[in-house]
Structure 1
């Protein structure tokens, strides 16, 4: 969904005053937009680099009725190609035909999916580096959060990619304030969060700026 379309969708709904939450008229949309895929952090056998990127290709080998599937990655420094095991010795009938074709056709969607797959990273013993993979886009008009009595505000945060981002970093980027100011407003109850400010978010969530600290919502 495009940003403008998503914002119109956000504005078309309004939290009811009797719904257990703050009565909010102002809404804002923050979108964590995708700039690229995370780097694959593992030692290169040819040089000192530890950063790799997907080549956009897979290798599929068949041995009778068994298949091996690897995602090919390239060293950022020396260009050496190496392999990340995706499936090992899997029976051909156990692999959905659509998924097998995506490997055989070097599907960009499958490359993207696997490059962002934390389970695959854990299984293959490498780390993902998400730096430089995202930017925060907002539709925020002027909003004096540090004013004496700012109007109530609902902020919907949406993720185009599952980059793990510290909530505090999102708040400082979205509101343009210092870490100490943001923490003070969270501690005072002016900003209501569904998760801890030190937590790393990677999925959509909603936060509230309330006029009167101390009023709780479900």
Structure 2
């Protein structure tokens, strides 16, 4: 079950979809041997070297600063029978999906800056003016670790203090802590405010 999934409908009629959209793959953090940069981007290519029955597979990356190409080990001295044939063909064919899969797999230290944006299917939602309940489904196109309060700040266009105030008051009800980092789909609820008391 996705992070924060409630497993059941909230019964709220009004729903909104927020999507963490992909702007690009994260940079791989790796010291460059030619300059002081530590940000590298995949070139989209693999290098496969066969020595008898043993294989070496590298992902080729390029330094963001100086452009120097270097290798990151994917498989080292691996017996040819131990590597899935279709996977090997993907490496040999420089399959773009294989590059993406490998980069976001968590095998490397990554810098996610500038890789995502938040898109919503609703116009600006004024929490102060709209007292009705709302269910918001957050979907991730890219498994980028994002702090929940950052998503709320972007989605509602509010300051950090305002977001924390709404969560603290119970108006915004989250399945995880507001300062938690999430990277998978979840749902939260904007609760209805009580109508003003009759004079």
Give the aligned partner of residue 165 of structure 1: 146
CA RMSD of aligned residues (A): 1.7
Shift of 1:212: 5.1
The answer as to whether partners of 2:21 and 2:141 remain within 8 angstroms in 1 is yes
Alpha carbons of structure 1 residues 48 and 156: separation in structure 2 relative to 1, 3 Å: same
SS at match of 1:174: helix
Which residue number corresponds to residue 180 of structure 1?
A: 161
Unaligned runs of 5+ in 2: 1-5, 195-199
Deviation, 1:96, is 0.8
Alpha-carbon offset, residue 63 of structure 1: 1.4
Query: Aligned ranges for residues 60-79 of structure 1 at < 5 Å?
Result: 60-79=48-67
Say which structure is richer in helix: 1
User: Residues 139 and 64 (structure 1 numbering): CA distance in 2 closer, same or farther, change over 3 Å?
Assistant: same
TM-score by length of 2: 0.90
Unaligned 5+ segments in structure 1 are 1-14, 122-126, 214-218
Say whether the 8 Å CA contact 2:25–2:100 is kept in structure 1: yes
- Deviations 1:93-121 (Å, cap 9, x if unpaired)? 11111100000000000111111121x11
Matches for 1:184-199 after TM superposition, within 5 Å? 184-199=165-180
Please name the residue that 1:51 is paired with.
39
Mapped pair 1:26 → 2:8: no
CA contact (8 A) 1:152 1:210 kept: yes
What's the TM-score, normalizing by structure 1? 0.82
Aligned residues: 188
Q: After the TM superposition, which segments of 4 or more aligned residues of structure 1 sit over 6 Å from their partners? A: none
Instruction: Return the alpha-carbon distance in structure 1 between the equivalents of residues 34 and 124 of structure 2.
Output: 52
Would you say the 8 A contact 1:144–1:150 is kept in 2? no
- Which deviations, in whole Å up to 9, do the C-alpha atoms of 1:22-54 show, x marking residues without a partner? x31110000011110101111101111111100
Q: Which has the higher contact order (CA 8 A, sep 6+)?
A: 2
Decide which moves more: 100-109 or 181-190. 181-190
Q: Equivalent of 2:103, from 93, 115, 119? A: 115
Aligned with residue 128 of structure 2, among 118, 143, 146: 146
